[in-house]
Structure 1
């Protein structure tokens, strides 16, 4: 009707402002953590903090390479990099993985990648990143067996219930696939598309190199950032052991559905650094300072970028 705006026109300004509102809510809920983290940064050695900031920035570049490697179609490089920066903010505002996944799915769709192939590329990215993270952790544990006292990371007697829960979850998923025909058909179609996309990507060396190189670089850069903050605050733990602690902690909290892992990641990192030989007080200071650099400082500019990308219809 004349004089009435389409629904999309009315909703888009709200979507542009929503990231800023979420940043404000999250910041208010974690005010004490922010203040304590900034306090620790004030007493740290700034060259190491600068190294941690550089490593954090490079994680967005690694993510962009991995995203491009997961899809055959050429994506615009600058917008892809900006999208990874914005996706990082979305990931800290929504349950882990959902924010970045939604932003990248929308970006690929706008770039002309069909929804089925975009979803397959997203699944391939997540699989490659998970395999790379687990592979790095296992490789470092083999190379440095004394880096982490793994037994101290889990409460006594918790391994049995965890394994039982995993088995029950797998059985429930298998039963759902067998009993619900529509779900079985949808999953089969998605797997066919995903396998076809994976074969196409690995048939081109440049795409395969971007996918797996970025997947390996991403957790390595994150771990290097933590090690740099540990050096800045003089944590008495070797850098390689801090990297192992980081990888172990992030693997442990991968299934915890909290926004960006806020709360769960800090707790897991502190426990892992203590298991690596660090004093509790110093490990806590390192983790708080690290999360300030990697989460809180980029959060506002990331949210602004996300809003701008929505406004400019990049996503």
Structure 2
């Protein structure tokens, strides 16, 4: 009788190597530790690249009224609370409150990895998926939050524009031809996007399925008053708190612009800057805020100082702590 020897699979050798203290390379590689340190590394690169901007903002804050600056810091912290409430309002399930707040704090650092808020969206999708929600419902919750936040932000902007129609004087700041080209470009981009979605059948099916899921979740959420209040209340409070932070910085630096006009300038600037995708809004938000404040009646140097101080408080100051929290959430497998 012929005996055939079993073919070696390689696993016994691998186990014997592990017993001898030699783990395979793919097990020796601390992948999760690398992922934990990655946000801190990227943020460190950002800080080095923008050190002059950070230094200017820090110098501006040192010459300002500390009490109004503390008010700006407080409104920034309350903004993360408002976002956490709004995120909770997008799902029926109860999310862990402390982890939800930590995820929103970490999302600010994640926004410096990818443009247009993609980093924060990725953090929240991973967080909700880790809480047990299916990916389709996590994506629908994200879309509902974006819709609610955009609706309330644009609504506030329209209300302030109607209340103060002469607050922004763009004529001396931007030529009419430039604003016309900006509007035309935005309309053309939106038309191209709609046409592309309509022409590509797989994309159309995917969008239709996603819209059905989002609408079903939205109907269910609005049957729960607590969820609807959290969604719309948090979405309304977030831009108000952000605008209030800029008002506090303006008062700290004695900016000669009415607080209501500063809030209108902030809402208009962030709406325009959203068209230009940049990580953390670096460049686009700063320029739009300076232009809007000048259009509201501030001097160019005063507007630049206020924007530098405001961005230092809201972006650069919480950047390193946010990166540390993000790394901790990754290491704890929360996201």
TM-score by length of 2: 0.90
Q: 2:309 aligns with which of 274, 277, 289?
A: 289
Query: Hey, what's the Cα distance between the residues in 1 that align with 2:233 and 2:173?
Result: 30
Displacement of 1:13: 1.2
Residue of 42, 50, 56 corresponding to 1:30: 50
Answer yes or no: is 1:80 the counterpart of 2:95.
no
1:220 equivalent in structure 2: 240
Instruction: Write the distance in 1 (CA, Å) between the matches of 2:29 and 2:213.
Output: 33
- Aligned 1:1-315 pairs, distance under 5 A: 2=15, 3-4=23-24, 10-152=30-172, 154-315=174-335
Residues 20, 303 of structure 1: 8 Å contact kept: yes
* Distance in structure 2 (CA, Å) of the matches to 1:8 and 1:216: 48
Q: What SS class does the counterpart of residue 258 from structure 1 fall into?
A: coil
For residues 57 and 197 of structure 2, the distance between their equivalents in structure 1, rounded to whole angstroms, comes to: 46
Q: Mind listing any 5+ residue stretches in structure 2 that lack a counterpart?
A: 1-10, 16-22
Q: Is the 8 A contact 1:92 1:295 kept in 2?
A: no
2:187, 2:205 → 1: CA distance?
Answer: 24
Q: What are the ranges of 5 or more consecutive residues in structure 1 without an aligned counterpart?
A: none
The 1:192/1:216 distance shift into structure 2, 3 A limit, reads: same
Q: Judging changes above 3 Å, is the alpha-carbon distance between structure 1 residues 162 and 37 closer, same or farther for their aligned structure 2 residues? A: closer
Q: How many residues matched?
A: 315
Q: Once superposed, what is the RMSD of the aligned Cα atoms?
A: 1.7
Deviates more, 1:204-213 or 1:137-146: 137-146
SS in 2 for 1:158: helix
Greater mean deviation of Cα atoms: 144-153 or 204-213: 144-153
Q: TM-score, normalised by structure 1?
A: 0.96
Give the superposition deviation at 1:158.
2.8
| Cα distance, 1:109–1:7 mapped onto 2, change above 3 Å | farther
**What displacement does 1:152 show?**
4.9
Runs of 4 or more consecutive aligned structure 1 residues displaced over 6 Å after TM superposition: 5-9
Distance 1:7 1:280, change over 3 A: farther
Distance 1:286 1:256 in 2: 22
Per-residue deviation, 1:263: 1.1
Shift in alpha-carbon separation, 1:204–1:267, aligned structure 2, 3 A: same
Q: 1:98 to 1:145 in 2, by over 3 A?
A: same
SS at match of 1:93: coil
Q: Shift of residue 5 of structure 1?
A: 7.2
Quote the offset at 1:29 in angstroms: 1.1
Task: Give the superposition deviation at 1:232.
Answer: 0.4
Structure of greater Rg = 2
CA deviation after TM superposition for structure 1 residue 151, in Å = 4.2
Distance 1:39 1:166, change over 3 A: closer
Quote how far apart the aligned CAs of 1:289 are.
0.5
Q: Which has the higher helix share?
A: 1
How far apart, CA to CA, are the structure 2 residues paired with 1:121 and 1:6?
A: 36
Specify the SS of the correspondent of 1:157.
Answer: helix
